[in-house]
Structure 1
Amino acid sequence: MDSWVRFNGQSQAKERVFRAAQYACTLLGSTLQHDEAAEVRRTVSQLEAHMSLTRKLLRLGNSVEALEAAKRAIHLSDSVLRLCLTISHLNRAMYFACDNVLWAGKTGLISKLDQHKWSQRSFRYYLFALILNLTRDAYELHLLMEREARSRTSKQPSSPSIPLPPDHLSSSSSPATQAMNFGWLYRQLHLVGTVLYSNPPLLLDLVKNSCDIFIPLDRLGIYPTGPGFVGACGLASSVLSILTMVHPWLKLKP
C-alpha cells in the first residue's frame, strides 16, 4: 500500500499510465485490420489521440525538470556519465519544449502551426536523448563487467602460462582457434548475464531504452517497424517505467 501511495503521488505517474494506455491502443489498432472492424479501429484511433493529447498536457513544465536534472548531472565526477547525462537531459528539455508547442497547436492556442515539422523535431531530440541513455547503459555495463572480471581473477589460483602454438598452426580457421573464440564469446556472454542479473536497475533501464528507441526510429522513417511493433515496445517500456516508480530502488542512479 505504501508503494501505491508513493506511486500515485508522483507527478509523472499519471503520464506513465496514459502512455501505457496510448501504446496499448496503438497495439490493439494494429490487430484490427478486417473491414468489419473498421468502426472499432476508428474508435481506438480516436482514443489513442485523446491519450496522446492528455499526455502532452501532463508534460507541461517537464522542460524545467529536465534542465534541473542537467544542472545536477554536470557536477558528476565521472566524465563519461557527466557528458552523457547532461546532454541527454538537455535534449529531453528540448523534446518536452517541442511537445508543449505541439500541444498548443493541437488545442488551437497556436494557429497555423506546422504540426508535422514540430513532431519530427521533437522526435529527433528524443532519439538523440535515447542514444545517449543507451551509451550510458553500455558504459555502466562495461565498468561492472570489468569489476566482475577482476573479482573472478583474484579468486582463481594462478596457473602456469600455456605456450602459444607456432604461427603456421595458429590460423584463425583452425579448430583450436575457433574453439578458443567460442569459449571467449561464451565467457563474455555469461559475464554480461551475471552482471545484469545482479544489477536489476541497469537491466531495466537497458531494456526500457532499447524498447523506446524504436519509437522515434519509426516516426522519423529511419527504421520503420509498423504500428504493432511500436505499440508493443511503447507498452513494454511504459510498464517498466511504472515499475521503477512503484519500486524506486529499481531506478538507475545517478
Structure 2
Amino acid sequence: MSSIASQVILHPVTSQSLKVLSTTIGRDKLYRAIQYFARFFAWSLLARGYKIQAARWDALKSHLALGRKLLRLGKFLENAQAALRAISAPGETGERITAIGRQLGYFGYLSLDNIGWAHSIKFYNLAPSTAQKINKRAMQFWFTGIVFSIVHGLLKAGRLANEVKQLQGQAWSEKSAEVEREHKLRSLQTAREDVRYQFILDLLDVWIPATNIGLVNLNDGILGIFGFVTSLMALRQQWLAAAGRK
C-alpha cells in the first residue's frame, strides 16, 4: 500500500502539477477554471429548479472570484512595464500600437479591479453607485484590452504568414542555408501556433466583459463554459512551461 502511495506522490505528473500550482499564475488559472465551471453548473441547476444546490455553487463562484482578486493585487504594474517596453520595442507599427493598447487596457482593468476588491472586503467603502461605475469601467477596460489583443493577433498572424511564404519561395543552393531555412520555418510555425492559440482564447474570453457592459446578452451557462475552456487553455500553457516545452 505504501509503495502505491509513494508511486502516486512521487509520480512525475504529481511533481509537475505541484510545480504549476507553486506559481501564482498556475493557482489563478486553476481557481478560474473552477469558478467558471461553478458559474455554468449553478446556472444549469437553477434552470432545472434546484435552487438550494445552485446557491451552493453560486457561493463557490463568488468566493473564488473574490479570492482571485487578491491574487491580482499589484499585477497592473506588470502591464505598465509591458506597455513601456512595447513603446520602445522594434517591430511593425500596427503590432506595436495594438500591443500597447492591450497592455493599457489590462492596466486599467486591473487597477480598478484592485479598488473594487478593497470595497468588496469593506477595507474602503464606496457609495453603491460609485462601486457599480468602477466595476463597469473595469469591464470596459478588460473588453478594450481583449479587442486590442485580437487585432494584434490578426496583424501578427498576417505578418508571420507572409514571412513563411517568402522563405518557402526562396531557392537555396547550399545545404547549410537549407538547414537554416528549415530552422527559421519551424520557428515561424511555432510562433503562428502560439498566435492562433491566443487568438482562440481571446475570441472566447471577449464575450465575458462584453456581456458585463451590456454589448451582448449571453447567459451564465454560455459564459461559464467559455471561461472554463479558456482557463483550461491558459492552464495548459503553464503546464507546458513547467515541463520546459514552451
Counterpart pick for 1:76 among 79, 85, 89: 89
Counterpart pick for 2:204 among 194, 197, 211: 211
Q: Is the 8 A contact 2:160 2:192 kept in 1?
A: no
Counterpart pick for 1:148 among 164, 177, 180: 164
Greater Cα shift, 14-23 or 78-87: 78-87
2:104 maps to what in 1? 90
Greater Cα shift, 34-43 or 50-59: 34-43
2:221 maps to what in 1? 228
Mapped partners of 2:245, 2:132: distance in 1: 36
Mapped partners of 1:198, 1:83: distance in 2: 19
Greater Cα shift, 111-120 or 96-105: 111-120
Confirm or deny that 1:123 pairs with 2:143.
no
Mapped partners of 2:126, 2:79: distance in 1: 28
Confirm or deny that 1:108 pairs with 2:126.
no
Confirm or deny that 1:67 pairs with 2:80.
yes
Code of the aligned partner of 2:233: L
Q: Which runs of 5+ in 2 are unaligned?
A: 1-11, 172-187
Aligned pairs (5 A) from 1:152-191: 153-154=169-170
- Cα distance, 1:152 vs structure 2: 5.0
Secondary structure of the 2:139 match is helix
Q: Name segments (4+ residues, structure 1) moved above 4 Å.
A: 151-155, 195-198
Question: How many residue pairs get matched?
Answer: 212
Secondary structure of the 2:154 match is helix
- Cα distance, 1:77 vs structure 2: 0.8
Q: TM-score, normalised by structure 1?
A: 0.76
Superimposed CA distance per residue, residues 73-119 of structure 1 (whole angstroms, 9 cap, x where no aligned partner): 22221122221112211221111111011111110112234332111
Closer, same or farther: CA 221–243 of 1 in aligned 2, 3 Å: same
Code of the aligned partner of 1:144: L
Mapped partners of 1:221, 1:143: distance in 2: 34
Closer, same or farther: CA 146–215 of 1 in aligned 2, 3 Å: same
Closer, same or farther: CA 250–240 of 1 in aligned 2, 3 Å: farther
Code of the aligned partner of 1:140: K
Superimposed CA distance per residue, residues 177-236 of structure 1 (whole angstroms, 9 cap, x where no aligned partner): xxxxxxxxxxxxxxxxxx978832112101111111010111111011111111111111
User: Radius of gyration: which is bigger?
Assistant: 1
Q: TM-score, normalised by structure 2?
A: 0.78
Mapped partners of 1:89, 1:57: distance in 2: 20
Code of the aligned partner of 1:108: K
Q: Which runs of 5+ in 1 are unaligned?
A: 156-194
Q: Is the 8 A contact 2:95 2:152 kept in 1?
A: yes
Greater Cα shift, 32-41 or 196-205: 196-205
Mapped partners of 2:245, 2:78: distance in 1: 20
Q: Is the 8 A contact 1:32 1:38 kept in 2?
A: yes
Mapped partners of 2:234, 2:204: distance in 1: 12
- Cα distance, 1:145 vs structure 2: 2.1
